[in-house]
Amino acid sequence: MSGLIYAESFDDYTEAKKASYVMGGLSFHTDYGIHGRGMRVGDAAGTGAYIDLPMPSPIYFMTGFAFRINTAGGGDLQMTRHFTSSAGYIGLFYDAASQRLDLSIKVSSASNTHLYTPGGSVLLNKWHYVEYWMRPSTGSQGYAVLALNGEVRATLGPFDYFVNPDMYRIGGPGGDDVDSMDIDDIYISNYDYADYTDDPPFLSPIEVVPLLPTGNGNSSDLVGQDADSTDNYQNVDEQDPDDGTTYNGSDTEGDKDTYAFADLTGSPEIKGLFVTQNAAKTDSGAKFIRPVIRIGGVDYAGDSHALDTDYNTVEVPYEVSPATAVAFTAAEINGAEFGSEIRDS
């Protein structure tokens, strides 16, 4: 069993760095989101807008996202697809005539199996939250589950599915794709269905909430572009990363910064968190960065990640607290510090 590998709110402007590929007239706006900024995809007006997201390996995947279909087109229109070739794929469709979702699975080269939500369950210009879980298997142990707005609507399995997809595409450029669709609050995980056959761990409708630094924490070893280590949080608190106009850095292994962050609103249930680091190296040799979470006066370091000379977003997922080994609480996150440590390996 693994867990969360990707989440996106579209509110921190890092979506292109985290995606595998972005195509067409993809656009982002607060008008397109249910919680802040959202993404619009589709083939309307010839834009052919779509985004390709990372797929887990091994190929057990569960995904969910908020969506609103603005204009569909006629017939069965693709919303998402997972594929390696035309011989085998999984596609989430909008059945415009029946106003429902259709999870279409090609279980052989000549046939498709369909999992539907009830007719009239997905109306145009209304927000919904879809989740589906797929376990490809060539040993007749495949499973698929489709949920809408937190309720499981259809299940299929066991069955034989002969292609492991390595592509996850939302939107598309063709006439068989949804014309215009808004997307928000996506997650991807790679839980194995075999571990949860009777109880799919869908996260249900969720909100992906970005938090930004609001103050210095316990450690301020890094040096900013202003040549000091004073109020370092102000160099990394922008919502849209400036890729080196402001920064904190060091060439010394073990140097680290931690920062206080804005509090969560209310007392939400925490499904997991990602420590997001937008970083690059200036050294000619290898250089690494690793996340640090400070809870209760103790620093907990994560795994090292290699850096490139171009700025890239490094996201490290946590489903449980490193301090307690159980799910985070809102109070724990509000009292924690988050930051980064410089590493040579």
Buried b (16+ CB within 10 A) or exposed e, 124-140: eeebbbbbbbbbbbeee
Sign (positive or negative) of CA dihedral 75, 111, 169, 185 = positive
Tens-digit pLDDT profile for residues 155-164: 888 877 766 6
What the chain holds in terms of domains, given with CATH numbers, is: 4-195 (2.60.120.200), 213-343 (2.60.120)
Q: Residue 125 pLDDT > 60, yes or no?
A: yes
The pLDDT assigned to 173 comes to 81
Rounded Cα–Cα distance for residues 129 and 140 (Å)? 29
Tens-digit pLDDT profile for residues 93-120: 999 999 999 999 876 656 788 999 999 9
Q: What percent of the chain has pLDDT over 90?
A: 66
Contacts of 228 (CB under 8 A, 6+ apart): none
Rounded Cα–Cα distance for residues 78 and 50 (Å)? 11
Tens-digit pLDDT profile for residues 192-251: 666 665 567 789 899 999 999 999 999 999 999 999 999 999 999 999 999 999 999 999
The pLDDT assigned to 79 comes to 95
Q: Residue 330 pLDDT > 80, yes or no?
A: yes
Tens-digit pLDDT profile for residues 242-282: 999 999 999 999 999 999 999 999 999 999 999 999 999 99
Cβ–Cβ under 8 Å, residues 116 and 199? no
The pLDDT assigned to 85 comes to 55
What dihedral angle (degrees, nearest 10) is formed by the CA atoms of 303, 208, 243, 54? 60
The pLDDT assigned to 1 comes to 39
Q: Residue 291 pLDDT > 50, yes or no?
A: yes
The pLDDT assigned to 211 comes to 97
pTM of the full structure: 0.92
Contacts of 84 (CB under 8 A, 6+ apart): 163, 164, 165, 166, 167
Is pLDDT larger for residue 234 or for residue 140? 234
The pLDDT assigned to 182 comes to 96
Tens-digit pLDDT profile for residues 70-98: 988 777 899 998 876 555 678 899 999 99
Preceding amide of 118 cis, omega within 30: no
The pLDDT assigned to 197 comes to 59
Q: What are phi and psi of 185, to 5 degrees?
A: 55, 60
Q: Residue 312 pLDDT > 60, yes or no?
A: yes
Of the candidate ranges 46-55, 168-177, 334-343, the one whose mean pLDDT is the lowest: 46-55
The pLDDT assigned to 167 comes to 80
